[in-house]
Structure 1
Amino acid sequence: MEPLFASFMLSFLLFFDLSSSASPSRISQLFESWCDQHGKTYSSEEEKSFRLKVFEDNYAFVARHNDMANSSYSVALNAFADLTHHEFKASRLGLSASATEFRRPNLREPGLVRDIPASVDWRKKGAVTQVKDQGSCGACWSFAATGAMEGVNKIVTGSLVSLSEQELVDCDRAYNTGCEGGLMDYAYKFFIDNHGIDTEEDYPYQGREKTCNKDKMKRRVVTIDDYADVPMNNEKQLLQAVAT
């Protein structure tokens, strides 16, 4: 079993006294504590034994990495410590494979910004909502789309409103496939064609596909008129786009 990559181990941190020489009984104790903290239960003893082995492998990966003297960062066990790398990718990385085939007619240069700052942190300007959790639904594309919309709306109107990923998961089905993956460009087209999207509060995220609520589709709180994609590997244009 392949351990979770380090980049995935950095969020939702759960710090233990990690030691590369931990005994099996110590690993079992840590696993039970981890299960209690994250509300984990399993359908059978066989499943629990398998998850314990995965947890042990990920524990060993974390311990080995943190023992390296030349590493510039540390990692820790998190809420995904009972998943293999393959399982994590299947459940969390929901960008549609068709993304590489999508022909982006909206590739164009962002508007010129003459005085580009050395850095931009839109969180400090109040343009980013609180951290959201997509759960086991592969709807990362919907969170990326609403995140962009939320930021733009704050910049333009001064109001930060958390928008509904669930509306996208349930209703944006022309090309996107809910928890099975999707593409942000299709979500932006949905925003435009539907003349807006509902709020997170009114149409809350469920972490699974449900029947589209067409009444809530009509509650168009925030909308956009257009969108543009920054060409791949063009840092100058990306900087221009982020600065606006």
Structure 2
Amino acid sequence: MEARHSKWMAEHGRTYKDAAAKARRFRVFKANVELIDRFNAAGDKRYRLGTNRFTDLTNAEFAAMYTGYKPSPSPSEEDKQKLPGFMYANTTLSSEDSVDWRQRGAVTDVKNQGSCGSCWAFSTVAAVEGIHQISTGNLVSLSEQQLLDCSNSGGCKGGNLGGAFQYMANSGGVTTEAAYPYEGTQGMCRFGGSSSGVAATISGYQNVPPNDEASLAAAVSNQPVTVVIASSGSLFQHYATGVFTANSCGNRLDHAVTVVGYGTEADGSGSYWLIKNSWGTTWGEAGYMRLEKDVASSSEGACGVAMAPSYPVVA
């Protein structure tokens, strides 16, 4: 186990301030690796666990540092801001349909929010990157830091999605990642509207009808969609590959991600949502997760994926 820890430290560039800190982290690493090994040896799930850059964190530490969704403090005010209706209500899908917006050029590379709980900015920006490419043909990496500094929708301790979308609609747009790079901490707003080089604009956002995976699929077939999921469990923390199942998580929403597609497993064993996360590429399937789709036992979807989806609207 010490050899595995040393190898893991080298792979992830992890260092500790002293021997005592290393010893504490080794104990956490050992407990997590034993969990991973037991789970994989059982072999009774559609997914596998693995080590990643979170393996020396307790689950409580992980949840505190890397999630970050907060519902709007004023839902009634947010309801006034969102656009009415659901524009994809009449979309017809077949059971064989699959969508992968990565293959259609509407998804930027996986990003890393670091230990700032800014998932709300990453998930909404990814959705705007998607609809901007779909409507203009240009894929541009947009600035999460602008939202973190300027939107008043949240900070490193979490934020809400409707406020982030509304900020992008009201502020004149969002600039590029290159012009306003991510720093992983909240600072003073340095965006000055059109003079700052707006790269993408939206007119507002709509909500997908909640607890309805068919409506979510209709929306995702047309553009990437922001969703909120329950992600703080230890199985989610160590997810490596395969289809993460509904019986592996609850519905206490705490993390915002982006659904960029859906499909069916090659062996026909079930369907999945394709989730883009913001924890870097060492987590999951190079930063992505396949999450069980069309859960018969719950209208909320696996990990609550269908409870609160929303998407940006362009004029």
* Alignment-derived partner of residue 66 in structure 2: 92
Deviation for aligned residue 1:239: 2.1
Deviation for aligned residue 1:101: 6.3
Cα distance 1:69–1:178, how it changes in 2: closer, same or farther (>3 A)? closer
Deviation for aligned residue 1:108: 2.7
Identity of paired residues, percent?
37
Cα distance 1:200–1:216, how it changes in 2: closer, same or farther (>3 A)? farther
Q: Which amino acid aligns with 1:102?
A: P
Equivalent position SS for 2:100: coil
Q: Distance in 2 between matches of 1:154 and 1:221?
A: 11
**Aligned 1:91-240 pairs, distance under 5 A:** 91-96=65-70, 98-99=71-72, 102-103=75-76, 104-105=78-79, 106=82, 108-116=85-93, 118-173=97-152, 176-215=153-192, 218-240=196-218
* Alignment-derived partner of residue 41 in structure 2: 67
Query: Unmatched 5+ residue regions in structure 1?
Result: 1-26
2:149/2:186 contact within 8 Å kept: yes
Larger Rg computed on CA atoms: 1
Instruction: Work out which structure has the larger RCO, using CA pairs closer than 8 Å and 6 or more positions apart in sequence.
Output: 2
* Alignment-derived partner of residue 82 in structure 1: 56
Equivalent position SS for 2:14: coil
1:110/1:237 contact within 8 Å kept: no
Q: Distance in 2 between matches of 1:230 and 1:71?
A: 30
Equivalent position SS for 1:227: strand
1:111/1:241 contact within 8 Å kept: yes
Deviation for aligned residue 1:71: 2.9
RMSD between superposed Cα atoms in Å? 1.9
Q: Which amino acid aligns with 2:116?
A: C
**Structure 1 or 2: larger strand share?**
2
Give the number of aligned pairs. Answer: 215
Q: Distance in 1 between matches of 2:221 and 2:137?
A: 17
